[in-house]
Amino acid sequence: MAHARRKFVEVAESFPDEVAFVLETLRQVYLHDAEARQRELSPDERLALHQERSQPLMAALEGWLEDQIEERKVEPNSSLGESIVYMRKHWAGLTLFLREPGAPLDNKFCERVLKTAILHRKNAMFYKTPNGARVGDVFMSLIHTAELCGADPFDCLVGLQRHHERVADAPGDWMPWSFAATLEKIGAAAASQ
């Protein structure tokens, strides 16, 4: 959705009235999504909210997009026409949030994740040995996974080093998503002794 929206923002100066409808519609949809996050709705509750409030907006937008091209109100080869054609072409994916629980409005999160990997690949050109590159890949993966789980990457890496024997015995207990619980168990066991 962010890419489709950006295409309309880019032509807003040339087509202010037409673009205003699209941007206002999408603003309302994003506000509904923000409300779902603020209310901490489950994926199913979020889906129900979007189906109730956003689906009519998106249906009106789809009708407007179709009308602009089919009624020849906009030249398909113009910059606005290209924006409309792009959105219509990707409509099924752009409206997935109206059909699937948990489907995001846009893929900005995925793009940020990919940028991390791309930056790492660029930096990896300077590893001196293949083993150094492998170690760097493992650390990048651990650090990024910890960030995604809300864990402190530095604490995870230090904990893995401090408890390396326990990590070797039960590696599943030391994954970034279970790391904190494992440390609490160790702390509770040590306190009870």
- pLDDT in the model for residue 32: 96
- pLDDT in the model for residue 117: 74
- pLDDT in the model for residue 149: 85
pLDDT band per the 50, 70, 90 thresholds, residue 57: very high
Q: Is 14 helix (H, G, I), strand (E, B) or coil?
A: coil
- Dihedral in degrees, nearest 10, Cα atoms 114, 117, 118, 121: -160
List Cα–Cα distances, 27 to 33, 65, 92, 153, 182, in angstroms: 10, 16, 19, 35, 43
Domain range annotation of the chain:
2-105, 109-192
Among residues 58, 76, 74, 72, the alpha carbon closest in space to that of 22 is found at 58
| Residue 176 phi, psi (nearest 5) | -55, -30
Here the tokens at position 149 are 């789980």
User: Per residue in 165-184, pLDDT tens?
Assistant: 999 999 989 888 888 888 88
Q: Could you tell me how many helices (H) and strands (E) the chain has, helices first?
A: 11, 0
The answer on pLDDT for 26 being more than 80 is yes
- pLDDT in the model for residue 176: 87
User: Per residue in 117-163, pLDDT tens?
Assistant: 777 777 777 888 888 888 888 888 888 888 888 888 998 889 889 99
Tell me the pTM: 0.64
Among residues 146, 85, 37, the alpha carbon closest in space to that of 45 is found at 37
As a whole number, mean pLDDT of residues 66-71 equals: 91
Which of the two residues, 96 and 191, has the higher pLDDT score?
96
Here the tokens at position 49 are 């909210």
% of the chain surpassing 70 pLDDT:
99
